[in-house]
Structure 1
């Protein structure tokens, strides 16, 4: 009933604002499927040897798959703020989970709403401040979640902070799963003769920990399958940043053997398969609707997850490992290329520039996103491009557990308590990543910097930053980083102010 009333509200709003599509308006509709914490390499079309993602794989065959799409930050909010503004987080300080896009800042959804798009949002936020929603979104609902069975460990036991969960007591098609419910709401919206053009944003829970899943997906894969067919990256590698050992230590995971982490990965893969099933329901519904031929569908994520690799769990604010920065970016547009793969790197905020270009909307602010519309029609990527990501913190108000509602510092039973303690006592030095087709540099002014030769070491196992044979590569990439920081360190507003004095509201009478 609530869902139906919400759709009626949208329709009435559209009528009141004359938002129905005019005959000459040929702009596409958009649907953005955006599951949280879904890494690229855990999807079949990205090369995983046994995970079952038939809907995503079919979708990739019908559109364009970007093989090297990298996020701007490896936590939810900073990554999402960058995606909608087209700006790096160092420009306006969107570096934390609690510093979101303000109403005075331009963003993609606001541009589209002002250009007569109906903007629908079903899912989590982690992007817009409260004041920004009314100016940027037509209607929204917090339909989000994937059920799990609760912590697999009791408080005080080793593993309590591992995020490992028991299986859920309900199945994937239960409306208790908010992500599934959000897709149903989208299909109901589409079936209701909605105002066009529209954009629907579905930022779901996706693959986000805890590592649990609905009953029919929890045991879909086994630790043995992971061990034999897709071995995880092992821990205790030399020359790795401090968090590679700190996460294991603070979460009390040192006593577990490799099978434990293989099991975490197996359950994570089950969640990815559930994401695939929900996505398949969405695409099938759109394809069966009258909007199949004029709706562009984007599938991506805000960041990845360790999921047991290196014996690590969740993510880390100062981590820029590929399993955290590399996300799926699969796009199908009306009349676009089919089965096209772009191997050259892009940044995830390029989605903003692409959608605005397709909607014939001009951004009225300085941004750094690049449209990939040409690639969606079959063009190749830019082999000389370097993409960037950032992370870590320097000031006390950048620390993750500052959100008082989550009580991450005050409640030891909070699953993020151990992480909060690690950030508070060990820190997470700021990091900037530069990545091209051949090398990846993670530069930390404090802490361990990293360089990986991607031609020889795609899994990032051998840090050669201090290897004298790569000294020239380090010098050149750090020089490029300096130039990038200077060129993008701030933005000048496009609106110019009159330097003269404004007319005063009234004249003060001179005293006699």
Structure 2
């Protein structure tokens, strides 16, 4: 956790990737982090209203989460917060050990956590709730704004081109991807980045058949897709400043007003007064799916020697 070369890093460019596991099920953490958060001060989880995807009720029933008391929910959240603080302390050790003055540091997660919201815990393949897709993202380094916070809409795929630009690497020489650098937001946190962001996940019922069951703590949840294949069905979602629209392959859609309901707990889908909004967001979602569909490879690869790329201005059927 404290490599010696970090205090005296090499003069040539280098990268350190640290895939820390916490916070992650099973929820447990040692002292002093276990007792760091007073249980009585912990807020209770948020409840949802309106139609919700089936996997939530199935997971709740399978695990008996609906039988947990308020004290048990607070205990779960307090332990989780302690795990986060333990993670923070280890990241701090790395930052303190690095003596380089020109290091760019990026800290981010792959997903969020229900932590009792919607009556559930952890995540789900077709779960695209706000608490799951809004993740921590911190970037620091020379020339970047310090101690500031940006409210820009950013996708995780944007981290890659951002780091390329910060490292002075020409992204045009890389493979085709749809991330957008947000370096401008790092210099000016008030800048906007995207007008809308997208999320996708889940599986088709045929893909579910190829999923494996898992041991504890995923033994119960890993059997649900096999028992109810549509519960992990494919899903796509679009978010802008005002709205979230979720389209599911096997279930009804969802619509949330992000201004009045920032945690996306009240599903408004199907209400007549929002029909035009649903139509507009569905059209934007379709456009994004087409815009980011399969593309021609940037260069011939050993895996596809039979593919001949068209020359500029040439149509290749």
TM range (shorter): 0.7 to 0.9
Contact 1:393 1:399 survives alignment (8 Å): no
Residue correspondences, number: 300
In structure 1, what is the Cα distance between the partners aligned to 2:10 and 2:208?
A: 41
Assess, with a 3 A threshold, how the Cα gap between structure 1 residues 384 and 277 changes in structure 2: closer, same or farther.
closer
Partner of 2:21: 205
Partner of 2:73: 261
Highest RCO, 1 vs 2 (Cα 8 Å, sep ≥ 6): 1
1:481 counterpart = 2:285:
yes
1:455 counterpart = 2:267:
no
1:418 counterpart = 2:226:
no
Assess, with a 3 A threshold, how the Cα gap between structure 1 residues 247 and 223 changes in structure 2: closer, same or farther.
farther
In structure 1, what is the Cα distance between the partners aligned to 2:66 and 2:57?
A: 9
Contact 2:60 2:120 survives alignment (8 Å): yes
Assess, with a 3 A threshold, how the Cα gap between structure 1 residues 375 and 399 changes in structure 2: closer, same or farther.
farther
Assess, with a 3 A threshold, how the Cα gap between structure 1 residues 480 and 280 changes in structure 2: closer, same or farther.
same
**Residues 35-74 of structure 1 correspond to what in structure 2 (within 5 A)?**
none
Residue number among 313, 327, 342 corresponding to 2:150 in the alignment: 342
Partner of 2:2: 184
The CA deviation at 1:401 is 4.3
The CA deviation at 1:294 is 0.5
Partner of 2:37: 221
Contact 1:384 1:437 survives alignment (8 Å): no
Partner of 1:304: 112
Normalising by structure 2, what TM-score? 0.88
SS where residue 341 of structure 1 aligns? coil
SS where residue 5 of structure 2 aligns? helix
In structure 2, what is the Cα distance between the partners aligned to 1:272 and 1:301?
A: 12
The CA deviation at 1:452 is 0.7
In structure 1, what is the Cα distance between the partners aligned to 2:26 and 2:69?
A: 20
SS where residue 419 of structure 1 aligns? helix
Contact 2:7 2:97 survives alignment (8 Å): no
Name structure 1 gaps, 5 residues minimum. Answer: 1-182, 501-512
In structure 2, what is the Cα distance between the partners aligned to 1:422 and 1:219?
A: 34
The CA deviation at 1:231 is 3.1
Normalising by structure 1, what TM-score? 0.56
The CA deviation at 1:450 is 1.1
The CA deviation at 1:340 is 2.9
The CA deviation at 1:362 is 2.6
Residue number among 200, 203, 208 corresponding to 1:390 in the alignment: 200
Deviations 1:181-225 (A, max 9, x none): xx323xx23135435211111111021111101222112224321
1:278 counterpart = 2:90:
yes
In structure 2, what is the Cα distance between the partners aligned to 1:352 and 1:360?
A: 12
Contact 2:154 2:193 survives alignment (8 Å): no
RMSD of aligned Cα (Å)? 2.1
SS where residue 462 of structure 1 aligns? coil
1:240 counterpart = 2:84:
no
Assess, with a 3 A threshold, how the Cα gap between structure 1 residues 337 and 253 changes in structure 2: closer, same or farther.
closer
In structure 2, what is the Cα distance between the partners aligned to 1:445 and 1:263?
A: 36
In structure 1, what is the Cα distance between the partners aligned to 2:222 and 2:210?
A: 7
1:194 counterpart = 2:7:
no
Assess, with a 3 A threshold, how the Cα gap between structure 1 residues 381 and 425 changes in structure 2: closer, same or farther.
farther
SS where residue 255 of structure 2 aligns? strand
Partner of 2:315: none
Assess, with a 3 A threshold, how the Cα gap between structure 1 residues 397 and 294 changes in structure 2: closer, same or farther.
same
In structure 2, what is the Cα distance between the partners aligned to 1:472 and 1:344?
A: 26
Partner of 1:365: 175
In structure 2, what is the Cα distance between the partners aligned to 1:298 and 1:445?
A: 35
In structure 1, what is the Cα distance between the partners aligned to 2:309 and 2:30?
A: 62
SS where residue 104 of structure 2 aligns? strand
In structure 2, what is the Cα distance between the partners aligned to 1:498 and 1:311?
A: 53
Contact 2:155 2:197 survives alignment (8 Å): yes
